[in-house]
Structure 1
């Protein structure tokens, strides 16, 4: 007897042996629908085996129990048995997935190249921005005690207003250490200036600063020779950099204990040599001298009423910054710094690690600065990567019709949706992997140019595991993001409809693709508008009439013997044929940020406090600068009383409310001065700042001052050579250095220039990658409407008509993107322009220009595919259906 059959005595003959009908019905009715056919087949095979080996009763029992376990919700979704799971994720199957993926890449070389290159561009752009952001955030992060380091700034309250200033009184550092127990160490830090140092016949200019003996104990600058405790212990000590030690002594070891002459007037002893300060430090200097030596040369630094240096301090590890802030808030009250005047000054503190990125003053606090650019380009990196991923999605969707039959056949033969989705995600990760390799190569090639553009010294950190972690994270994130929508979309296709040739897409999938295009072009429009406005603003500040002629205006510092020989210097300089005018000033023509509050006038409010900008000038200063007089006269040697006279600008006259200012006496501290002339307003700071009240006095020359020379156009090289010869003759111990006012002025907007260039490059990349996505969507639409195009051509439609038909829907999306993006772009750029006291107006044509650029590029992209589809032979179009 056949073991699979038993004799049936009934008249119908023998009945085939099978599992219990009720158990089979449960399995067919309540098992997971995606795995139902596979489960039924597997269970029949298992039943046959049980029947042969265990007998009918045991086989029925096992079949029934297994069927009950496979009923939902007892069964695990999309998994039938361990056998199925092993099969789905076996190495052979994964190998097969990759083989199919490579075949698809090679089969559609153009689409594959666009996909890989588009993602690579987005990833490379994001990677370079991340390197730049990493470099920006690394500034000052090397200090061991960075979480305990702070700097002081002051809030000044007057006239119902409050403003923050970063300069502090010289005695403040020592007072903080005495008055606030939580503060371990403090140091004042002077502003950096170029000074002359010499050893024998070797003479060089170096960036010099002064600080207290706590400096090297607070900050982690590496000492090559000497100790942190002894580097700045004595008045005659100087700590120098490796570069400076090499220039004067050959090696750091040879420099220790040697003498070096400072400004040809004082011998200093090298007590320490530190490693050259890198670009990752906010504080930049070539040498440091003791603060006591600075006070010896600048007696005002002992005065609480004078402000100049920065002040840094280090907290104890267990200190509460909020309590320290409360303790130091009114510390200046006991110093009588305000002298009973109707205004007050309070101290505030800022973490030192925020110094570089948050260096701007906004009202009464330190807020903003380079951190705004870091945040901006973080968003740009994310947006460009999103645009690249959207481009991949659109291209993958455009090719869905070609993959649809593959999906349908595989589903019919038993492939589950999870397997299909996994395959398409694997293909996306493969493309992302190829793109990541290409992106790293692009970054390696473009990084030198990027460094030149951003004035950085970045390098790819090949040896750091964190770098490769970022690469892998970027690869996986991009692959999952870019592949998610195509994987879910393709794996959800209905096999019956696909094999019947009725591949249609519902409105939701259409809206998704159109929304992605709008999003892409919206971001591109924002970047284009930003580029236009930044370029216009930078051009505006560089070309704006400053109130003086900055062309052919040269200046160099008054130092060494020039201080005492200035009259002889001026006489000899004026005899040079190419020199038109010579004068001097206590600041520089490109920047003057000094301030004084001790000025009152008849009728001034004693409760009002106005900060004037003082500047000492020489005869012929207004002629040298080409300044205009609004009233009165310039200083003249014909009027000996001008030694007690002053010039003020128009802003000062408005502040003082004087209708007839010329000849009026005003009080400057305890002295009376007389206004002899009014200067038309001119900019003596960058256009980030509004013009402040200016008061100019006659005759002051200081070692920090400048000789200002107007040279004749077209004779610059020979005139500079003649000036250098005279300076070397009169001042042989000091190297001659000079600067052009227009170049120094332009340097103040270096950050804005860099941002403008980067915005331009990023806008180009964004629009380029967006057009790749638009190309994909146009291809997808053309494929979907192949039969319609054939029918229209048979009925007489022209190529132009078909192109217009295919293009109008895309142009609507681009126009929608322009409308939605314009208000966002206006808001972002309006906030950016707030950083300038003088700014351009945001005009309608800027948005129109950005829109026209986007539309023209979109039309070109769409037309390429539309014309190709419109010119296809209609017979081939109809046959393809």
Structure 2
């Protein structure tokens, strides 16, 4: 019996090739989208799920509150770790660790003429055995108990060990030496296996934490006792005891910090929170060690996109199948007349649906291979095509196949199997055009276009917001600017000055400056500052940037009062921005010049010498924060060379020649360092990679949803024109023109699209308004977005069904009336 069902189903599908192709196309689009989105969502939600008692592991993070402005930092003051370990109750483990240089050099002593040297390495931390009690690794050599117990000890992952000591087994690597940044010489004391599951803990080198107390080269960075300095290199993870109160632990941590205030500013505005391990991969406020951050809202939205595309495919299938029912009426009547039961007919139609869905699924599996390549810029790099054939994904596909078969095939099967054979044989054209089925088909079409129009409006707004983000005036000149970072490992101000002088001699360069980060950058430094006006004390969290006398000129920063910093100012005098000026209570910027501020960084008062017009220090997701700019006379090791190229240069060849000259100069000063540069406008654009990826995804989702919806509309047009053949013939005999017939047929469909728009508009407005709240600065939802949506969808719909309506309008009325 089942074999006969499949034979009959295959014959039916091959007989109606056009309907079969349309149905397979619609379902394949939805299924392939669902497969890819499942891989993305499953991948991101699998991060760090394997840790023992992971629900009790937390990271202590810093929150700053300056008036109505909020700041976040994933780090803590360096001395907090030991204090928490010694004083806080309710903890099972406390694991402080320090993230080493992001561009460290690693070398291995060797007698060979070309010893191994790795440049710009990261994933290096200073830790102790508590880290390995929190994050469990498999030990291949050495002992967890004493591998990091002494200064200058090193634990490596197996992958890093093989990179440094190729071909040597783990046991024989123990005792060998490794040198970091030419000054930190350590001895390998342990080898651990790489974590083989998805994790954000991708560190490969673990230097003993006590090394920071004994090595002058890193002591200032990683062993300082300054409670005022909060940096994301100082990480602190804890594991709370079973039954312990999170609120109690957090209160104790903040009490420790407050006890070290010594009446200094900043301690009131900085508070610590406990971030669950499960949030590490998703919280952009704190980050995950400079790695890719996933967004829960985006993942849930992706699930919604997949569900909508599948729903569109199923609705499309229902519409086309019920439209086709008139063509199959005689078959149904004959089968019932010779004894076929309704149960058998339902089984037959569900078998056809299952067979068609299976073909669509197989086609989708092939499409996924190419779609993963097409969306490689959007899809995480850890996702591969082979993941489609894992047991979990296989189960998902089976459930998907069963769900689509039931959702798509059950209603048409119930409707068509209920036809009465006498009525069918007497007049098969009318069997599917009466009753509630017609309204249901129209309702499904409305649902399709509600989804499609929401996608269209979302695409238009997201595109508009991306344009706004990339073209908004940020308060500084970002065009024709590039910057280089001097090597962190080479702390030599003479080298920096030599580089600057050589760059100034290059004709294509208009201006050069030395400082910290550009006006807008991902990296931030902050401190606490206070101002006393005699009546009250104002405490502020202030972002810091440093640059020499050319910094203001190069970036076109506009002074509202006072002057820009000069070399003689060092760190004693600063320029503040408008936001900081207003926070201090000065409406007139000139009134702030000459006032003194208390600084936690220097411990000495600093003078305000100028006020600069506000510019955006971060992306437009964040508000403009209070800012202080000082003279950048190499107060920090990692300095940035800012280069302004002459805007009069035209053509890519001139730019290329200028960059080649810059590279020559770089190699003359830093011969052992790789030459890397960044264009500022590209750096700013990279803030919005997520939005640009969302825009690309919406473009595809919109195109597919409109395409599937138009296929459904075509099915309804086929059904309607089939049912109204006699009416059309009579109208033509009575003198109706082709244009009048087309208008009559099209008007009913246009009404459905307009009804869909009335439903879609408020849904889209609410959803898009919520999305815009993610930006401190954003475009508005304007009238043209809605008008453009309804006009475009109506035009596309009319074009999609024009062939069918014209065919019906141009048909010979004599033939249609004779057949009736």
TM norm structure 1? 0.83
Distance 2:248 2:788 in 1: 53
Report what 1:207 is aligned to: 122
Q: Which moved further from structure 2: 772-781 or 251-260?
A: 251-260
> Are 2:529 and 1:598 equivalent residues in the alignment?
yes
1:234 to 132, 147, 150: 150
> Are 2:242 and 1:319 equivalent residues in the alignment?
yes
1:687 to 616, 620, 625: 620
Q: Deviations over 1:629-652 (max 9, x none)?
A: 222222235xx3565211111111
Distance 1:279 1:683 in 2: 39
Q: Which moved further from structure 2: 823-832 or 628-637?
A: 628-637
Distance 1:282 1:523 in 2: 36
Q: Which moved further from structure 2: 646-655 or 710-719?
A: 710-719
Q: Deviations over 1:364-416 (max 9, x none)?
A: xxxx9600100111111101100000000000010111222333333344433
Give the deviation of 1:222 after TM superposition: 6.1
Distance 2:166 2:468 in 1: 48
Give the deviation of 1:137 after TM superposition: 1.4
Distance 2:142 2:459 in 1: 50
SS of 1:609 mapped into structure 2:
strand
Report what 1:98 is aligned to: 6
**Is the contact made by 2:100 and 2:126 (CA closer than 8 Å) also made in structure 1?**
no
Distance 2:477 2:194 in 1: 38
Q: Which moved further from structure 2: 484-493 or 265-274?
A: 265-274
Q: Which moved further from structure 2: 715-724 or 161-170?
A: 161-170
Q: Which moved further from structure 2: 340-349 or 747-756?
A: 340-349
**Is the contact made by 1:397 and 1:486 (CA closer than 8 Å) also made in structure 2?**
yes
Distance 1:177 1:814, change over 3 A: same
SS of 2:527 mapped into structure 1:
coil
Distance 2:192 2:683 in 1: 30
Distance 2:57 2:773 in 1: 30
Report what 1:399 is aligned to: 324
Report what 1:664 is aligned to: 595
Distance 1:192 1:415 in 2: 77
Report what 2:19 is aligned to: 111
Cα RMSD after superposing both structures: 2.8
> Are 2:644 and 1:710 equivalent residues in the alignment?
yes
Give the deviation of 1:431 after TM superposition: 1.1
Distance 1:243 1:538 in 2: 40
Distance 1:308 1:627 in 2: 27
Count of aligned pairs between the two proteins: 779
2:392 to 466, 473, 487: 466
Greater relative contact order structure (CA < 8 Å, 6+ sep): 2
- How does 1:171-210 map onto structure 2 within 5 Å? 171-178=79-86, 179-190=88-99, 193-199=102-108, 200=115, 202-210=117-125
Distance 2:177 2:682 in 1: 37
Report what 1:307 is aligned to: 230
Distance 1:427 1:357, change over 3 A: same
Give the deviation of 1:226 after TM superposition: 4.8
1:333 to 248, 255, 266: 255
Report what 1:523 is aligned to: 451
Distance 2:445 2:611 in 1: 59
**Is the contact made by 1:156 and 1:345 (CA closer than 8 Å) also made in structure 2?**
yes
Report what 2:422 is aligned to: 496
TM norm structure 2? 0.89
**Is the contact made by 1:521 and 1:817 (CA closer than 8 Å) also made in structure 2?**
yes
Give the deviation of 1:546 after TM superposition: 1.5
Give the deviation of 1:516 after TM superposition: 0.7
Report what 1:678 is aligned to: 611
Q: Unpaired runs of 5+ in structure 2?
A: 109-114, 214-218, 288-292
Q: Unpaired runs of 5+ in structure 1?
A: 1-91, 363-367
Report what 1:723 is aligned to: 662
Distance 1:773 1:584 in 2: 62
Distance 2:808 2:304 in 1: 37
SS of 1:595 mapped into structure 2:
strand
Distance 1:252 1:333, change over 3 A: farther
SS of 1:675 mapped into structure 2:
strand
SS of 2:786 mapped into structure 1:
helix
1:744 to 683, 688, 710: 683
Report what 2:290 is aligned to: none
> Are 2:210 and 1:282 equivalent residues in the alignment?
no
Distance 1:251 1:487 in 2: 65
Distance 1:204 1:671 in 2: 39
Distance 1:456 1:773 in 2: 36
Distance 1:306 1:218, change over 3 A: same
SS of 2:622 mapped into structure 1:
coil
Distance 2:272 2:400 in 1: 45
**Is the contact made by 1:190 and 1:308 (CA closer than 8 Å) also made in structure 2?**
no
1:265 to 177, 183, 207: 183
Give the deviation of 1:261 after TM superposition: 2.8
Q: Which moved further from structure 2: 696-705 or 726-735?
A: 726-735
Give the deviation of 1:871 after TM superposition: 1.8
Q: Which moved further from structure 2: 200-209 or 277-286?
A: 277-286
Give the deviation of 1:552 after TM superposition: 2.4
Give the deviation of 1:338 after TM superposition: 3.8
2:37 to 104, 126, 129: 129
Q: Deviations over 1:21-80 (max 9, x none)?
A: xxxxxxxxxxxxxxxxxxxxxxxxxxxxxxxxxxxxxxxxxxxxxxxxxxxxxxxxxxxx
Distance 1:171 1:832 in 2: 40
Give the deviation of 1:195 after TM superposition: 2.1
- How does 1:435-584 map onto structure 2 within 5 Å? 435-460=360-385, 461=387, 463-501=389-427, 502-503=430-431, 505-559=433-487, 560-561=489-490, 563-565=492-494, 566-584=496-514
Distance 1:649 1:345 in 2: 22
Distance 1:209 1:325 in 2: 32
Distance 2:126 2:286 in 1: 24
**Is the contact made by 2:44 and 2:294 (CA closer than 8 Å) also made in structure 1?**
no
> Are 2:364 and 1:428 equivalent residues in the alignment?
no
Give the deviation of 1:300 after TM superposition: 6.7
Distance 1:298 1:275 in 2: 29
Give the deviation of 1:813 after TM superposition: 0.7
SS of 2:592 mapped into structure 1:
coil
Give the deviation of 1:782 after TM superposition: 0.9
Q: Which moved further from structure 2: 827-836 or 157-166?
A: 157-166
**Is the contact made by 1:338 and 1:345 (CA closer than 8 Å) also made in structure 2?**
no
SS of 1:749 mapped into structure 2:
helix
Q: Which moved further from structure 2: 242-251 or 683-692?
A: 242-251
Distance 1:400 1:124, change over 3 A: same
